[in-house]
Amino acid sequence: MGLRAEPHHYTLEDPMSSLLGRAFLALRPPSARVPGPLDGFVDSLVQKLENCRAGLSDETLARGAPDVESWALALYEEELPRLRDAIRIEEPHLTREAREELFRKVDDLVRKVVVPGWVRLATRFTPRERNGFYALAESLHGLERAGWALLGMGLGFLVVWAPFIPLWSKEWVLPFTVGGLVFPELRRWLSFRRYEGELNQLVTKADSEIARVDLAYLTETTSVAEREARDDEEARAKARLRAAAGAAEREG
């Protein structure tokens, strides 16, 4: 049965950098790592997309989400054999037909939820990352940094001057100036943390859905063949009702 997902690749719930956080997680004992359903398939897929994101060209990004989604789906197609193996190994209690049905449901979830969700986040984040999270073009990064430093200096003078703020030493202007100077690095750090959190949320929701479907198979007493026969009968009944309604309209 699938286990509850634990967001463990992208965030640590404390103010560590991503690089330090991943190093810390890699050193944890194996018993402390809890993979998601199907041996953490969704988590590893998102990690693969992130690892390959450097190869996503600016031209593909400029063409929009459909082209980025096609790029991501091509990477996902490479993982289909591993998904089948994970279902076969993790779900030995299911019949071959049930495992195939589970594969179709997980595949549908990845194609319609996980990949589009990652594309939505990546197409917004990647251009900002490649521009260093600056608002201006690369050639003007120094100018923007200087502007933030001047803004911090001006804010520092305002704080020292304001009579309702008990700071009178002009030395307080220096921390504000330095704060403005390093503001782009702070914005970069916050942007990465937010992006990591959004990736975690995407993985966790997908894992929760897979675990729910997996639990349904464990508690379902009706066989796949019986469910398919029931669905076919319901479809035929609906078709007969539509045919009868059409005949009544023509006679009327």
| 43, 5 contact by CB (below 8 A) | yes
Q: In whole angstroms, what is the distance from residue 90 CA to residue 84 CA?
A: 10
Cβ contact 149:182 at 8 Å: no
Percentage of the residues of the chain whose pLDDT score is greater than 90: 36
User: Residue 76 is which amino acid?
Assistant: Y
Collect all residues with Cβ–Cβ distance below 8 Å to 114 and sequence separation of at least 6: 42, 45, 46, 202, 206
CB 152 within 8 A of CB 177: yes
Structural contact between residues 61 and 25, judged by C-beta atoms closer than 8 angstroms: no
Residue with tokens 């991501």: 72
List, in order, residues 6 or more apart from 122 with CB less than 8 Å away. 49, 53, 56, 68, 72
Q: Tell me what pLDDT residue 39 has.
A: 86
Question: In the numeric block, which tokens belong to residue 95?
Answer: 């019949």
Q: What is the per-residue pLDDT for 51? A: 93
Residue type, 50: E
pLDDT on residue 94 = 82
CA 89, CA 168: separation in Å to the nearest integer? 69
Q: Assign 155 a pLDDT band (cuts: 50, 70, 90).
A: low
Give the amino acid at 105: K
pLDDT band at 248; cut points 50, 70, 90: low
pTM tops 0.75, yes or no: no
- Residue 69 pLDDT grade (very low, low, confident, very high; cuts 50, 70, 90): very high
Q: For the segment 72-86, what is each residue's pLDDT rounded down to a tens digit?
A: 999 999 999 999 999
pLDDT band at 165 (very low <50, low <70, confident <90, very high): low
% helix, strand, coil for the chain, step of 5: 80, 0, 20
Percent of the chain past pLDDT 70, that is, above it, reads 56
- The secondary structure of 162-231 as a DSSP string is -TTS----GGGHHHHHHHHHTHHHHHHHHHHHHHHHHHHHHHHHHHHHHHHHHHHHHH--S-HHHHHHHH
* CB within 8 Å of 237: residues ≥ 6 apart: none
pLDDT at 128: 84
Instruction: Decide if 200 contacts 11 (C-beta within 8 A).
Output: yes
Q: Residue 109: CB partners within 8 Å, gap ≥ 6?
A: 206, 209, 210
Region 180-187 average pLDDT: 66
